[in-house]
Structure formats: C-alpha cells, structure tokens
Structure 1
Amino acid sequence: MEAYESIKKLFQLYVGKRFSKEGKALFGKWLRAEQDQEIKEHLLRQHWETVTGEISADTWEDWNRLRSQLGTSFHRKKQIQLMWLKYAAVVTLFLVSVGGTYWITEQHTLRQSVEMAELFVPYGETREIQLPDSSRVWVNAGSTMLYPKDFRKMDSRTIYLTGEASFQVYKNKKKPFIVKTSGVDVQALGTVFTVKSYAGEDYTTTTLEEGSVKVSLKDGTTQSYVLKPSEQLVYSHRDHSVQRNRVDLSLYKMTREGYLIFEDVPFWQLVSTLEKKYGVTFQYNVTRYGNDLYHVKFAPDETIEDVMEILHQLMGIQYAIKENNIIVK
C-alpha cells in the first residue's frame, strides 16, 4: 500500500506540471525501471481515462519512436490487439503530456545510465538520509521525494518533492542544487533550508536558515526571490500571492529535533500537523473551531495521548481517542 501511494503521488506531481528537460528525462528513467512496474502500469491505465487527447496517426508515429528510444514495450502480458493499441496510446500521451517532444528529440540525455531513488515517508514517521553528493535531508511525515542515485552524470542536482523536507546542502558551484515542487523551484548553493509543499494544501513555504536560496515561481511568470537567513517565503497556490516573513531560527531549528511548535495557527493547521506526526485522523466541528488560533509547543517524546491532554488542560478541548481516530467534542 505504501509503494502504491508513493508512486501515485509522483504521478500526480508530474502530470500537467512544467519541468526542465533534465527532469523529464529523469522521470522517464524512473518510469521504465522494472521496480513496481505493475503499479506504474495500473496508474498509466487510470491516466488514460482522464486524458482528452485523441489517438491519431501522429500518436502511433510518436509511439514507435518513443518505444525505440526507451528500449521497452511496457507490455508483459499478452492481450488482444485493440487493448494493446489503446495501452500504447496512453503511454505515448502520458509521456508527451509531461515531457513534450523532448522524449523524441533529445537522445543523449536518455542514454545516460541514471537510476532513480524514490523515498516515501508515511504518516507517523520521519527519515534522515544522505544524498549521493553527501548533502543531508530530513524528510517529514507524509512526504515523497524522487532523486537520481548518482549525480556525477547530471548537470544539476535536482530533487522532486511533495511534502516537507529540510536540506543541508553540500557545496558544488558547478552543479546547482534544485528542489522542485508543484508551485516553486528552490535553488541553493551551500545552504540549510526547508521546503514545505504538501499535496492538497494551499501554500508552499520555503524557510532559510543558512546561506541563500533563490525561489522561482511556476505560475507562468518569471518572478524569483532571493532569501536571506531567517527569512521565509509563503506562496499561495490559489491567488499566486507571495508573503515574506521573518522567523525565529532558534525555534525553527527545534522542529528538526522533533519538537512541534505552533504560534498563532488555526485549528485545522494544528490538526493537519498532528495527523502527519502521529498517523491519526481527527474528527471535529469545523464551524466551532474555525476561528480559534493556537500557541503551544510539544516535546519530541510526547505521545498523542500527552498532546491531547495538554490541549485539554490548556484550552479546555474535550476529546475521545478510539484507536487511530480522535473525536473532538
């Protein structure tokens, strides 16, 4: 189940988004890898049901060139000819939708032997990993990250993220370090920063601790912002607005150590964070708690039972815990 959800998130991250030529090639490498092929084929078939493009002579021509380029046919099971033709079309339309003609024309990049690594962190967990260039990443709960297993043949160190992760980047001026999300691209040169961009949330947040980063918007404009330490940029997916804030780094660094720190946040945001941290589901009256703001801190070793009791003592919240469900009365 975790593998399916992870791959599904990656598909959602790519479909309909704008990516660099290198990123399209990397996604193609990952897509044609044998690992989890049945799940990938299932999601490709699902994507077929949503595409609006029609099959034409150009589709078949693109497919034949694409199949030769990728070195794979994507069909291991013998099926009737009609179903196979439809499946060939969905592969072609899907790759064209995320990669354009680059799949067909830029052969040299696809020939590079680049393997993709995929990391999915389920709710209730966090992970710390070291990237191939010795950069370190702290990946938060409910996050998915895709990156090359070897940066040596790449022009840049490009990471694809949906969720939240903190990066401590190893300096290499010849190969910029770039974190790509659905809303912004964040480029760093030897720095420490955090990117938060969960699927389904309205904001992408970039917070800088050390060095500098350039945040480029992906809303059809060429806007970019250079952040200084202690600065935070919040990008709205709804109205494409940008807000720059100052943050207290002494508190912010504590979050990497496992602390949960909330400063004047609405109840839904507090609940969303707790759900990811502890792998639970909240049930509550949105109208009743819609206007309340919360200011509270929880230690790394505190359980969800401890957290709820603190909220009860400090704010009078009445609740009941039934397995992984928390009912707020």
Structure 2
Amino acid sequence: MEEKRLWELIAKKAAGEASGQELEELNQLLEKFPEAMYSIETIGHYWNAQKDQQAIAEREEALAKHISRFQQEKSMVESAINNRRAIVRTLMIGTAAAAALTIIGVGAWYFKLNDRITKGTVKTLAASNGTKNHVTLPDGSKVWLNAGSTLTYEEGFGKKKTREVKLSGEGFFEVRHDEQHPFVIHTPQVDIRDIGTSFNVKAYPTDKTTEATLIEGAIEVTLINGDQSIVLSKPNEKVIVNNKAATTITKSALPPTDSLIAETAWMNDMLVFRNETFGDLAEKMERWYDVTITFQNESIKQHKFTGIFSNETIEQALNELKQIYSFKYKDSNNTIVIY
C-alpha cells in the first residue's frame, strides 16, 4: 500500500497538483524508499516536456528504451509498454488524472524491478534536484545528501572488511566508528577514510573542486592516484582538490566559526555563498531549486555575490540578486535565461 501511495504522490507532484501536506507525506515515504529517487528522476525526465501528442509519443518511446535496459525478460517489457500505451491514449484526452495513472502504473512496476536488481548488485540512495535526503546505512552510520547527489554501496555493506561507499554530489556523514571495518568514501578525485568522525564532502561532477570539511574527529584524504595523502584531525580543517588537475591536495583552516555555516548550512535549508561568481552560484541554484539557468551574456557570469537564501523562491532569490547587480531574466517552465 505504501508503494502505491508513493507513486500516487509522485504523480501528483509531477502534475503540479500536490498539496503542501502531500509533499510532506511524499518526503516521509522517500525516507523509507530512498531507492525510488532514481526512478523519480528518470520518469520525471520524460514527463517534463509539453503535453501534446508528439511529445507523448516521444516520451513513450524513450521510456520504453529506458525500461528495456533494466529488464531481461522480454514478455515483461512488452506487457509494461502495452499497459502504458493504453493509458497514454487516455492522456491524449487531456486529463491530468491520466498522467498520474501512467506514472503510477509504470513507476510501481519499475520500482519493484529496480529493487530486485539492487538487491543483487548495489544499493543507490539519492536526492534529486530541489530535495535533500537523510538515510541510515546498515552499519548505523548516518548520511545527509544534498540536492543532486547519489550514494551507492554494494550488497553486504558492513559485513566485509571495509565499508565502502561511492559519492557523487554532496553529503554530510556521521560515521559509526569501527576499527575492524574502516569506512571509505570514494569520489572521482579522492578517497576519504574515516578515523572516527563527522564531516562534509562535496564532490559534484560539474564543480571545479572536490572538498572535504572536518566537523569532529579525524579523516584521511587520499588522491585516487595515491600520490598524496593528508590527515585532518582538528575541527574546521578543510581540504580542496582541483578537479581538472587532481595532483595536489590543499589543506586549510576555516576562518571563524560563522564561516563553518557555509559548509553545512544546506542541512538547515540555507544556501550560503561567499564571493562566488554568478556562474558558479547558478549551478548551485539549479540543484537547489530544480531549475535550468543559462546566460546570454558571458560577462554577467563573472560578477561575484555573497549572501544566504533560505525560504526564498527562485523568483525572490533572483530579484534579491538584481538589487546587488543589475540584470534581467525570463522564466519559462523552470528554464531561466539571464541577460
């Protein structure tokens, strides 16, 4: 019943019909079924286009291809696609309810299939753009994922000699220390080994740097090529690696305590930025608000901003930035063009 309700709420959110109470219920269900996040992103991708007959046909074909990659039994694929086509014909009449039924039907089927695959290989936990996720790993360690992030680990996590996870994006970790089973986080540029601690790791594939900030305890940060390793043992210490030339780890101590807020403020629903170019800030805002931002004037991207967003909508945030630096923007279906 909970899975059916989960996909019903996902459908209502996609159709823009979910109430505040229903969105809260959805977040609670996603804490129980975090593996559904990947499915949400995939299905949502095909339903964000305009709802005309041609777009529906294109989404149907694309979704069929996506499902087939995860399905080894041809008969199940054909059954799922045929069911979807029947519902799509109803959607062409123009009812939002039909869209909801389509997502529920395909989503619930894909959820069960994905769950079956996950148990045999890896477990994927995610926070899509515009959301955050809080999970407890099988060993009791806790992880908070920021928007646009994924965490994966193999089946049997905690039972092998080393507890290993892979992070793409940003996460805050409270690791349950176990000397007999070291905890290692793999990112594209560095490996981070826990020595009994809580810390923040930021490793978005599109960012210029990979960063690890120690909050409590100690961690060891090692370049993936093994050329350099640094141990952080004091709170507020931080390491930065340039993603384009990952040959050196730079270690620094954060300024006074108030700047530590910038490293973990996202956990308290605050987007903090200090002396950041508009281009870099726009990437953060894309993940934070689940929008796409483009610039018609490259020079605007170089202007720098310092500030905090908390409860602002994307429109309010942009209008606040306009008070600091003059620019114009237009918003069409969550695609924002700045000029």
Report the TM-score range of the alignment, normalised by the length of the smaller protein: 0.5 to 0.7
Q: CA deviation at 1:235?
A: 0.8
Q: Which residue of 1 aligns with 2:11?
A: none
Question: Hey, what's the Cα distance between the residues in 1 that align with 2:170 and 2:210?
Answer: 9
Within the candidate set 29, 39, 45, 2:69 is matched to 39
Q: Does 1:154 align with 2:166?
A: no
Given residue 69 of structure 2, which amino acid in structure 1 is its aligned partner? I
Question: Hey, what's the Cα distance between the residues in 1 that align with 2:292 and 2:262?
Answer: 27
The residue correspondences of 1:196-235 to structure 2 (distance < 5 A) are: 196-218=202-224, 220-227=225-232, 228-235=234-241
Name the structure where helix makes up a greater proportion of residues: 2
Q: Which residue of 1 aligns with 2:276?
A: 265
The residue correspondences of 1:11-30 to structure 2 (distance < 5 A) are: none
Q: CA deviation at 1:198?
A: 1.6
Partner of 1:160: helix, strand, or coil?
A: strand
Within the candidate set 301, 306, 323, 1:313 is matched to 323
Q: Which residue of 2 aligns with 1:242?
A: 249
Question: Hey, what's the Cα distance between the residues in 1 that align with 2:301 and 2:334?
Answer: 23
Greater relative contact order (Cα < 8 A, sep 6+): 1
Task: Structure 2: give runs of 5+ residues left out of the alignment.
Answer: 1-36, 43-65, 76-118
The residue correspondences of 1:149-188 to structure 2 (distance < 5 A) are: 150-188=156-194
Partner of 2:317: helix, strand, or coil?
A: helix
Q: Does 1:276 align with 2:287?
A: yes
Within the candidate set 244, 253, 262, 2:264 is matched to 253
Question: Hey, what's the Cα distance between the residues in 1 that align with 2:305 and 2:176?
Answer: 37
- Partner deviation per Cα, 1:124-178 (whole Å, 9 max, x = no partner): 1110111111111111111121124543421111111111111011121111111
Partner of 1:151: helix, strand, or coil?
A: coil
Q: Which residue of 1 aligns with 2:141?
A: 135
- CA separation of 1:292/1:139 partners in 2, compared to 1, >3 Å: closer, same or farther? same
Q: Which residue of 2 aligns with 1:88?
A: none
The residue correspondences of 1:48-127 to structure 2 (distance < 5 A) are: 76=73, 116-127=122-133
- CA separation of 1:125/1:250 partners in 2, compared to 1, >3 Å: closer, same or farther? closer
Count residues with an aligned counterpart: 231
Q: CA deviation at 1:241?
A: 3.3
Q: CA deviation at 1:302?
A: 1.8
Given residue 288 of structure 2, which amino acid in structure 1 is its aligned partner? K
- C-alpha contact 1:114 1:150 (8 A) present in aligned 2: no
Given residue 186 of structure 1, which amino acid in structure 2 is its aligned partner? I
- CA separation of 1:244/1:285 partners in 2, compared to 1, >3 Å: closer, same or farther? farther
Q: Which residue of 2 aligns with 1:63?
A: none
TM-score, with length taken from structure 2: 0.62
Given residue 222 of structure 1, which amino acid in structure 2 is its aligned partner? D
Structure 1 runs of 4+ aligned residues shifted over 6 Å read none
Question: Hey, what's the Cα distance between the residues in 2 that align with 1:172 and 1:116?
Answer: 22
Partner of 2:178: helix, strand, or coil?
A: coil
| Cα-Cα RMSD | 2.6
Given residue 323 of structure 1, which amino acid in structure 2 is its aligned partner? N
Identity level (%): 30
Q: CA deviation at 1:289?
A: 1.9
Partner of 1:297: helix, strand, or coil?
A: strand
- C-alpha contact 1:267 1:292 (8 A) present in aligned 2: yes
- Of 254-263 and 287-296, deviating more is 287-296
- C-alpha contact 2:170 2:202 (8 A) present in aligned 1: yes
Q: Which residue of 1 aligns with 2:303?
A: 292
